[in-house]
Amino acid sequence: MIGVRSTDAADGAVHRLRDKPRLTFNVHQALAVVLLLVAALGISLTLLIQQSMHLAALSNVAVEIPNNANATQQRPQSSSDSDEMTDVEPDPEQLPETQTDENSAVTVDDGLVDINTAGLAELQTITGVGPVTAQRIIDYRKTIGRYASVDQLLGVKGIGSKTLEKIRGQVTVR
């Protein structure tokens, strides 16, 4: 007994129709599908590699900016060291420049907090920045080296575009 009705017999034609594949591929169609999938995989990997290269380049730019600034300050000193001792004038010129930079940093009191040099207490004086966010700003600064712009605060967890716009007038990068 195969079914409920007497007409439900063990007919081979019914089983063949039931078991027949609904979709069939010949060899050429299967090859075309495989090539299409391989091309899609290649494009996907290419885009992934390009994205990682751009991200790495952006990360290196943020890290290289302070390093290049130090390298340019050190290059004139090394070139003056290689010159004869009669060339003593560049060293005194560089010393007043660094002193004026330090003096200008001390004398500039515009009420803005420098996020590259501010400590935990100074960062907490910024409206909208509590102790946790201040610590995250310091931790992120340690990760990237120095802030090149105030916009890099968007990389700090807990600071979004609204918070950044709220604190932008209170912070600076020197």
> Both 119 and 68 in a single domain?
no
Contact 109, 30 (CB under 8 A): no
20 in a structural domain: yes
Structure confidence at residue 22 (pLDDT): 78
Among 24, 57, 85, the domain-final residue is 85
State which H helix or E strand residue 60 sits in. Answer: helix 27-82
Query: For residue 20, is pLDDT > 50?
Result: yes
Instruction: Give the residue-averaged pLDDT of 99-103.
Output: 42
Among 59, 85, 111, the domain-final residue is 85
Considering only CA atoms, which of 130, 121, 128, 119 is closest in space to residue 169?
Answer: 128
156 in a structural domain: yes
Structure confidence at residue 105 (pLDDT): 40
> Both 126 and 152 in a single domain?
yes
> Both 78 and 16 in a single domain?
yes
Query: For residue 94, is pLDDT > 60?
Result: no
Name the more confident of 92 and 139: 139
Name, of 52-61, 63-72, 93-102, 121-130, the range with top average pLDDT: 121-130
Which CATH number is 149's domain given?
Answer: 1.10.150.320
Structure confidence at residue 82 (pLDDT): 44
Instruction: Give the residue-averaged pLDDT of 118-122.
Output: 92
> Both 144 and 65 in a single domain?
no
In the chain, what percentage of residues exceed pLDDT 70?
Answer: 64
Tally the domains of the chain: 2
> Both 169 and 106 in a single domain?
yes
Mean pLDDT of all residues belonging to the chain: 76
Eight-class DSSP state of 152: G
In the chain, what percentage of residues exceed pLDDT 90?
Answer: 46
Based on its alpha-carbon atoms, the radius of gyration of the chain, rounded to whole angstroms, reads: 34
Structure confidence at residue 61 (pLDDT): 63
Structure confidence at residue 104 (pLDDT): 40
> Both 124 and 73 in a single domain?
no
Among 57, 85, 113, the domain-final residue is 85
92 in a structural domain: no
> Both 120 and 81 in a single domain?
no
Q: Give pLDDT tens digits for 45-91.
A: 999 999 998 888 887 765 555 554 544 444 444 444 444 444 444 44
Query: For residue 7, is pLDDT > 90?
Result: no
135 in a structural domain: yes
Q: Which domain holds residue 166?
A: 102-174
Number of neighbouring beta carbons within 10 Å of residue 147: 24
Structure confidence at residue 111 (pLDDT): 82
- Among all chains, which residue has been given the structure tokens 């102790």? 131
> Both 69 and 14 in a single domain?
yes
